[in-house]
Amino acid sequence: MARLFRSIAYGTAALACASAGAAAQTSSFRFEVLPILERSGCAAAACHGGATGRGGFKLSLFGSEPASDWRAITEQHFGRRVDVANPEASLLLRKATKRYDHGGGRVLRADESAYETILQWIRDGAPSDLEAAPAIAALRLELEGSRVRSFVRKVGAEDDVCVDDFAHYWASDPAALRVDEDGTFEIRAPGEHWIYARYAGATARVRVLRPFTAPTSAPGVRAAAADASSDSAATCAQEIDALWRAQLARLGLVAGPAATRATIARRLSIDLADRTPTAAERRGTQDSGAHDLGVLVDRLCDAARFREVIGAMLESTFELEDDEGLAQIARQTSRQLREVLAAELPKLRTVGDLVRGLLEPGPMRRVLTRHADPRDRAEFYGRSLLGVRIGCARCHDHPSDRWRRNEHLEFSACFVDAGSGSGRLYDEDGRVVEPRLLPLRPGNSDVEATVTPREIREFTLDDAAELAARAWCHRVFVRLFGRTLYAPVDDQRLTNPVLHEAVLDRLARDMIDNDMRLDRPFRVLARTQLYGLASADEKSAAIAVRHLAARPVRVLGPARRLVVAAGALGVPARPARLSPSPVRSELELRHGPQFRTLLDEAGGYVDLLALTTQPRARLDEIWLHFLGRPPRPRERELFESSARTGDRGVLRDLVFAVLSSAEFSVLR
Amino acid sequence: MNSQDLSRRRFVSQMLGTGFGAAALPFVDALPFELEASKTGRALIVVFLDGGMSHIDTFDGKPEAKSDITGDLRSRRCAVDGVFVSTELPRIAGLLDRCVLVRSLTSGEGNHDRASRYLLTGRRPSAVLEDPGLGAAVIALERAEAKRRHVAIPAYVSVPDTAVGGGAGFLGSASLPFETGAQILRPGGRVRALEVPPEARRALGWLDQLDALDSRSDGASSDAERSLAELRGRARAMVYDREAREAFAVDREAPPIRERYGRHQLGRSCLLARRLVERGSRVVLVRDRGWDMHVQIAKRMTYGFPGKLPALDQAFSALIEDLERRGLHERTNVLLVSEFGRTPRVNPAGGRDHWPRVHCCVLHGAGLRRGFVLGESDARGEEPADRPVSPAELYATLAKLMRMPDDAKLWTSDGRPRRLVQEGVEPLSEILA
């Protein structure tokens, strides 16, 4: 499946090829003239490729619609843009060379080959070679020393053709990697970088890497500690660690030290259960011989609170958060749908369950159908379940985003629901659009009169399984590591490279092999040594943190802090409306009723503290339970006498202070 | 004894007055900020009419155009030659000879969010990088240059909340504005989050002690923890500092002044903005919603308790006069603006739709010419007829007025520089004094 995704992302689908030109002409409009215009920036959004073009001359974005571009150049503006009788007087060339006033300045020189190519095309009568053209099968990049070269293979051809003179190159990070028009490049900063190339509607990429220090050989993977559960999750975790360490070795980086078991236990409890570790868990993890972290992972993932963690992730995945920027009615709908989701949560174990819930009759279907327009539904489905943004193709073809306008429209037609009034979809010519699933692999491109929910589900779990698994695994990664491997999280595409791609691929493959279970990536990732790294200060270890050789310290946001506090107190979390303004939300938590309400509900904890714990040990219990450490001498000096009284009000205030402290919010 | 010692003494005495007593004193030693706000630096109040103010129905009237353009509202000459202002804005019309009016603002962004972002960040929205609003950028720059450490009065405030584009963008949450919330805009309203519940005083005192001990412990401290400590320090300072608390107490203003601003939300917002600027806030973004009038625009502009235009007239003119009376105009600028204008022609529903090709804004205050009109729209209010002005130029002008260096740079989270003002964009030199 990983190979499939790559072949789609880096190969055929990314090419999204249009028809190729006939090779008979001296100059090809499709394969030479248009790429020159694109490479010169004429078809960029800031120039003639913008929504309304520039100066009355409109090209498609990045030359994605060659037919309309040919018409724009040869027919519009009374045909003045090309002059076959006097080719050098063509407006196209006079403007490009700035012999005639041109807002975009000079983009061609008369003495360069690109100019000669366009001139020759006009001399030949500015023909269109779009009809009987072979399609492009693949665009491939090769590195030759400090130069990148481009080759294409057309359908039916056996040989690759070099297109160095026409491909347009750019770098993933221009500050770290410079790529010139002729393909020569210079790596200016260490790290992993990508060179992209676009040619005739196709996009490809190649990786270049400069290590931070001399590359090291990947250390052998340390055998994982005996895992009492001994299932395949531990094995997969070891494989992921091997891939991660291999990438670090390529980069010349060394993984940082592991965190203490107590730190990992607190991390696991908060990540997987939104609570602090229990006394038994703390004791268990102190003794490495008696308790394995893998057992703790499984125990936490089997507990009821883990379902709530999944529920919170699904709220985010399905874009149901309480957003103050939304209109009142939209916020109300989101609230209702969060309740629906909570009720349906026990049934949602796999990606297949999610798809069924969204598509088949039932209360959860409203999560999808709240979007009345089928195009909005298709885009929502793409973002939330497949982790891809197809929305750009609503307005224009975009080679880097793979999807073409017709594909967007056809996929949207799969979500037409006459019963709910979303109606039919029509194309620009007024014809009804027939539904078709996204062309992720050859063979699924048949136009259907109808596409049933079952077919969409099968498509999601088969053709699109890799996308869907990667999307969910990445969301789990973000939850467990507090950072992304690529951003935005719902934007998998060729030109959005993934940090440690092999790690994500392996995790996704494991999820597919395990029936697309939502809990599976948690069980695997939480077992890795990568997860168990000690956290480091981003300032002093910025490179290590950026490349996953160390973990950043995480700070729980106010809303999450409330959820974890509720978990630590053993009471249900209540949704709280906190301001997005950080200072204000800090004040709201400090002075508002949220923590006090939790403490009221958790009276049992305070009672237990007052009644059953030894007076001298009360302070220890509070500090260990909420902060994972005993009180420091100064803290003991300040608070012990108060705690010793056993007064419930005093104990309640102490718990409030600890829960509200900065330290409680910090996840190392 | 230096001024910082004095301010700490004042702060401690105030804090003792809050009922926290000596329990919280250790926290004072760990204060990561200065307590006195600078009351001499430049300040900016942006009155943002969210939704799109009709330029033709406000400051760019076209009395000689056909009725489908003039609509049901009337305009008349004002104190500045050649300018026709709505008859619903008589007080502002009388003040325009002390302001700058730009009538050729043009953005090309017809979507609310995108247009709002362009206007408030000075850059067209990008899919890969979210730029910060000017307020966030200003406080980030000043923090980076250590020109200003944290003070109790928040440097950047949104009233009642932040318009799209006014946020921190790539600068991160530390640069987000303090949002007052809508409750303060009701008569008798307060920022509840600033009020300490009496029953929580002991617990809060202990909390402050705990945090103070934590911040002084020798454990490794990360960027994230330092940011958190800073954030909490700012929150505490707002609670403990009487002047900060009073800045938000709009109802303590003398009744005649409150009446002058108006009892409506926009009036209270503008009054609050003046109080904040007076006490040291650098940028206040007043967001007045409800200007997206696709239907019955004349009615929606004028009817209500009060209607949009009468409220704007009262509040904005009161703000200008109040700033001038207090001398605050010598260090404060006010900008009245929307994300775009509205269609010159009234639509069949009696409303006007989005129109980004041309709209207008009003500026006032320090460093600006008085009674100056920049640019004009064509006879039908459809296009700039002279001196088109982009939001990027307006942004550059505001940055200049705020005395930001020409080459000021911000840094993205992954360490890339980004100029505060877009490359190649110059301030509107014509309007600068």
Query: Which region among A130-144, A339-353, B99-113 has the lowest average model confidence (pLDDT)?
Result: A130-144
Which residues on A lie below 8 Å from B164 (Cβ)? Answer: 325
Tokens of residue A424, six digits = 């039919």
Q: Do B203 and A324 touch (CB under 8 A)?
A: no
Mean pLDDT of A81-94: 89
Tokens of residue A500, six digits = 């440690």
How far is it, in rounded angstroms, from Cα A415 to Cα A451? 8
Residues B25-36: b if buried by 16+ CB within 10 A, e if exposed: bbbbebbeebbb
Tokens of residue B399, six digits = 């940055």
Q: Which residue of A has its CA nearest to B180?
A: A584
Decide if pLDDT at B390 tops 70: yes
For residue B150, give the amino acid letter: H
Q: Do B161 and A324 touch (CB under 8 A)?
A: yes
Beta-carbon contacts of residue A101 (< 8 Å; ≥ 6 apart): none
Decide if pLDDT at A216 tops 70: no
Which residues on B lie below 8 Å from A565 (Cβ)? Answer: none
SS3 state of residue A554: strand
| In chain B, residues 126-165 whose CB comes closer than 8 Å to chain A | 154, 158, 161-162, 164
Q: Do B196 and A591 touch (CB under 8 A)?
A: yes
Higher local confidence (pLDDT), B184 or A226? B184
Q: Which residue of B has its CA nearest to A666?
A: B225
pLDDT digits (tens, 9 = 90+) for A558-584: 889 999 999 999 888 877 778 888 889
Task: Residue B371: name the closest of B10, B97, B139 by CA.
Answer: B97
Higher local confidence (pLDDT), B148 or A172? A172
Confidence of residue B146 (pLDDT cuts 50, 70, 90): low
This prediction's pTM: 0.79
Decide if pLDDT at A324 tops 70: no
Q: Report pLDDT for A372.
A: 86
Q: Do B222 and A537 touch (CB under 8 A)?
A: yes
How much is the mean pLDDT over chain B?
86
Check if the beta carbon of residue A128 is closer than 8 Å to that of residue A70.
yes
Mean pLDDT of B50-61: 96
Decide if pLDDT at A160 tops 60: yes
Pairing state between β B283-288 and B156-159: parallel
User: Of B154, B199, B200, which has the smallest distance from its Cβ to A583's Cβ?
Assistant: B154
Q: Do B231 and A586 touch (CB under 8 A)?
A: yes
User: Of A554, A639, A660, which has the smallest distance from its Cβ to B224's Cβ?
Assistant: A554
Tokens of residue B168, six digits = 């921190």
Confidence of residue B24 (pLDDT cuts 50, 70, 90): very low
As a whole-number percent, the residues of chain B with pLDDT over 90 amount to 58
Check if the beta carbon of residue B102 is closer than 8 Å to that of residue B376.
no
Higher local confidence (pLDDT), A50 or A608? A608
What distances in angstroms separate CA A589 from CA A563, A577, A661, one per listed residue? Answer: 12, 10, 11
SS3 state of residue A161: strand
Q: Do B232 and A586 touch (CB under 8 A)?
A: yes
Confidence of residue B420 (pLDDT cuts 50, 70, 90): very high
Q: Is B366 on the interface with A (CB under 8 A)?
A: no
Q: Do B211 and A662 touch (CB under 8 A)?
A: yes
Sign of CA pseudo-dihedral A599, A602, A604, A605: negative
Which residues on A lie below 8 Å from B196 (Cβ)? Answer: 591
φ, ψ of residue B203 to 5 degrees: the values are: -60, -40
Q: Which residue of B has its CA nearest to A545?
A: B414
pLDDT digits (tens, 9 = 90+) for B237-256: 888 888 888 899 999 999 99
Decide if pLDDT at A327 tops 50: yes
Q: Do B222 and A553 touch (CB under 8 A)?
A: yes
pLDDT digits (tens, 9 = 90+) for A617-660: 888 889 999 998 899 999 988 888 888 887 888 889 999 999 99
φ, ψ of residue A68 to 5 degrees: the values are: -70, -30
Q: H helices within B262-367, ranges in order? A: 265-278, 297-302, 308-326
Q: Report pLDDT for A10.
A: 35
Decide if pLDDT at B27 tops 60: no
Q: Do B193 and A584 touch (CB under 8 A)?
A: yes
How far is it, in rounded angstroms, from Cα A18 to Cα A23? 15
Check if the beta carbon of residue B123 is closer than 8 Å to that of residue B110.
no
Decide if pLDDT at A21 tops 60: no
How far is it, in rounded angstroms, from Cα A644 to Cα A491? 55
Q: Do A555 and B225 touch (CB under 8 A)?
A: yes
Neighbours of A612 (CB within 10 A): 9
pLDDT digits (tens, 9 = 90+) for B83-126: 999 999 999 999 999 999 999 999 888 888 889 999 999 998 87
How much is the mean pLDDT over chain A?
84
Q: Report pLDDT for B137.
A: 94
Q: Do B210 and A635 touch (CB under 8 A)?
A: yes
Q: Report pLDDT for A601.
A: 85
In terms of Cβ atoms closer than 10 Å to its own Cβ (0-12, 13-18, 19+), residue B264 is: buried
Check if the beta carbon of residue B56 is closer than 8 Å to that of residue B284.
no
Q: Is B178 on the interface with A (CB under 8 A)?
A: yes
Q: Which residue of A has its CA nearest to B231?
A: A583
Decide if pLDDT at A370 tops 80: yes
User: Of A538, A588, A662, which has the smallest distance from its Cβ to B193's Cβ?
Assistant: A588
Q: Report pLDDT for A80.
A: 81
Q: Report pLDDT for A100.
A: 86
| In chain B, residues 378-417 whose CB comes closer than 8 Å to chain A | 414-416
SS3 state of residue B141: helix
How far is it, in rounded angstroms, from Cα A266 to Cα A73? 65
Q: Do B179 and A662 touch (CB under 8 A)?
A: no
Q: Report pLDDT for B211.
A: 87
How far is it, in rounded angstroms, from Cα B84 to Cα B58? 8
Q: Report pLDDT for B370.
A: 95
How far is it, in rounded angstroms, from Cα A296 to Cα A241? 19
A&B contacts, CB < 8 Å = 129
Q: Report pLDDT for B118.
A: 95
Q: Which residue of B has its CA nearest to A662?
A: B211
Decide if pLDDT at A75 tops 60: yes
Q: Do B235 and A590 touch (CB under 8 A)?
A: yes
Beta-carbon contacts of residue B371 (< 8 Å; ≥ 6 apart): B79, B80, B96, B97, B98, B99
Q: Report pLDDT for B302.
A: 93
Q: Report pLDDT for B400.
A: 95
Query: Which region among A45-54, A72-81, A310-319, B283-292 has the lowest average model confidence (pLDDT)?
Result: A45-54
In terms of Cβ atoms closer than 10 Å to its own Cβ (0-12, 13-18, 19+), residue B385 is: middle
| Site from A322, A581, A598 to mutate, B interface, most B CB atoms within 10 angstroms | A581
Which residues on A lie below 8 Å from B207 (Cβ)? Answer: 590, 656-657, 660-661
